[in-house]
A = this chain, B = another copy of it.
């Protein structure tokens, strides 16, 4: 359980406390094979510990983001999703038809990033990029 060691040490290092709620939120994110929303995390946590409040989930997500244990991706349409930071950054192709999320390898957008920097002086945060469209299955 590398991630719980990470959590413990990162929390301790900055004077935060290790609470069951925090462990459960992190664990829910680690367990999900892909991107999970705040509501879904809440549902998972409540299943094991019913009296947890959703505001705690939000506060914990805020903290875990700050500690770089989870990454937040804004998939548009108000859909904010989380995934473990240690699973690596990746880009997302979001199918607007079926909602499927396809991960792109980190390298795919590298040349785009370089070009944006060269031509616009813009440092793109391509880690959190979501590209919308239609996946192969949904093209009628």
**Residues of chain A at the chain B interface (Cβ within 8 Å):** 74, 76-78, 93, 95-96, 102, 104, 108-109, 112, 115-116, 119-126, 128-129, 131-136, 139
Contact = CB atoms under 8 A, between A and B. Distances in A.
Given A121-B135, A122-B134, A116 B129 contact: no
B124 A133 contact: yes
Q: Is the interface of A mostly helix, strand, loop or mixed?
A: mixed
Contacts of A102: 120, 122
B116 A131 contact: yes
Given A74-B76, A77-B74, A132 B121 contact: no
B78 A93 contact: no
Contacts of A133: 116, 122-126
Contact of A125 (B96, B108, B112, B115): B96
Given A102-B122, A121-B139, A122-B131, 7 more contacts: A93-B120, A96-B125, A109-B112, A112-B112, A122-B133, A124-B133, A126-B131
